[in-house]
Structure 1
Amino acid sequence: MMLLANEWKDYELIDTGDGEKLERWGEYVLRRPDPQIIWPLQDERGLWKKPHGHYHRSNRGGGEWEYKKKTPEKWTIKYKDLSFYIKPTGFKHTGLFPEQAANWDWIINKIQKANRPIKVLNLFAYTGGATVASAYGGAAEVCHVDAAKGMVNWAKENVHLSGLGDRKVRFIVDDVFKFVQREIRRGRKYDAIIMDPPSYGRGPGGEVWKIEEKLCEFIQLCMNVLSDDPLFLLVNSYTSGFSPVVIENILRSSIGQKYDGKITSGEIGIPVTETGYVLPCGILGRWESK
Structure 2
Amino acid sequence: MLLLADEWNEYELIDSGGGEKLERWGEYILRRPDPQAIWPLVQEWDMWKKPHGHYHRSSKGGGNWEFYKRTPERWTVNYKGLSFHIKPTGFKHTGLFPEQSSNWDWIIDKISSAGRPIKVLNLFAYTGGATVASAYAGAQEVVHVDAAKGMIAWAKENIELSGLAERKVRYIVDDVIKFVKREIRRGSKYDAIIMDPPSYGRGPKGEIWKIEDELFPLVELCMQLLSDRPLFFLINSYTSGFSPYVVENILKLSMGQKYAGRIYSGEVGIPASRNDLILPCGIFGRWEEE
| Counterpart for residue 88 of structure 1 | 88
Q: Does structure 1 residue 62 correspond to structure 2 residue 62?
A: yes
| Counterpart for residue 255 of structure 1 | 255
| Counterpart for residue 165 of structure 2 | 165
**Mapping of residues 89-108 of structure 1, within 5 Å:** 89-108=89-108
Please give the secondary structure, in 2, of the residue aligned with 1:225.
Answer: coil
1: CA distance between counterparts of 2:68 and 2:180?
Answer: 45
| Counterpart for residue 135 of structure 1 | 135
| Counterpart for residue 265 of structure 1 | 265
Q: Does structure 1 residue 196 correspond to structure 2 residue 196?
A: yes
The code of the aligned residue for 1:117 comes to P
2: CA distance between counterparts of 1:66 and 1:223?
Answer: 46
Deviation at 1:45, TM superposition (A): 1.1
1: CA distance between counterparts of 2:33 and 2:112?
Answer: 37
Deviation at 1:275, TM superposition (A): 1.3
2: CA distance between counterparts of 1:25 and 1:85?
Answer: 11
1: CA distance between counterparts of 2:206 and 2:254?
Answer: 27
The code of the aligned residue for 1:138 comes to G
Give the ranges of 4+ consecutive aligned residues of structure 1 lying more than 3 Å apart after TM superposition: none
Deviation at 1:46, TM superposition (A): 1.5
The code of the aligned residue for 1:185 comes to R
Please give the secondary structure, in 2, of the residue aligned with 1:240.
Answer: coil
Deviation at 1:185, TM superposition (A): 0.6
1: CA distance between counterparts of 2:210 and 2:6?
Answer: 32
**Mapping of residues 10-21 of structure 1, within 5 Å:** 10-21=10-21
| Counterpart for residue 187 of structure 1 | 187
Aligned residues: 290
2: CA distance between counterparts of 1:170 and 1:222?
Answer: 18
The code of the aligned residue for 1:259 comes to Y
1: CA distance between counterparts of 2:12 and 2:81?
Answer: 17
Deviation at 1:256, TM superposition (A): 0.7
| Counterpart for residue 35 of structure 2 | 35
| Counterpart for residue 46 of structure 2 | 46
The code of the aligned residue for 1:155 comes to A
| Counterpart for residue 208 of structure 1 | 208
What are the Cα deviations for residues 195-252 of structure 1, in whole angstroms up to 9, with x where unaligned?
Answer: 0000000000100000001000000000010101000000000001000001100000
2: CA distance between counterparts of 1:46 and 1:109?
Answer: 40
2: CA distance between counterparts of 1:214 and 1:63?
Answer: 29
The code of the aligned residue for 1:6 comes to D
1: CA distance between counterparts of 2:73 and 2:42?
Answer: 31
Deviation at 1:139, TM superposition (A): 0.2
| Counterpart for residue 74 of structure 2 | 74
TM-score by length of structure 2 reads 1.00
| Counterpart for residue 125 of structure 2 | 125
Deviation at 1:276, TM superposition (A): 1.2
Unaligned runs of 5+ in 2: none
Please give the secondary structure, in 1, of the residue aligned with 2:30.
Answer: strand
Please give the secondary structure, in 1, of the residue aligned with 2:217.
Answer: helix
The code of the aligned residue for 1:75 comes to W
What are the Cα deviations for residues 56-98 of structure 1, in whole angstroms up to 9, with x where unaligned?
Answer: 0011110000000000000000001100000000000000000
TM-score by length of structure 1 reads 1.00
What are the Cα deviations for residues 3-58 of structure 1, in whole angstroms up to 9, with x where unaligned?
Answer: 00000000000001100000000000000000100101111012101100000001
Q: Does structure 1 residue 236 correspond to structure 2 residue 236?
A: yes
1: CA distance between counterparts of 2:60 and 2:16?
Answer: 24
2: CA distance between counterparts of 1:143 and 1:231?
Answer: 16
2: CA distance between counterparts of 1:107 and 1:81?
Answer: 13
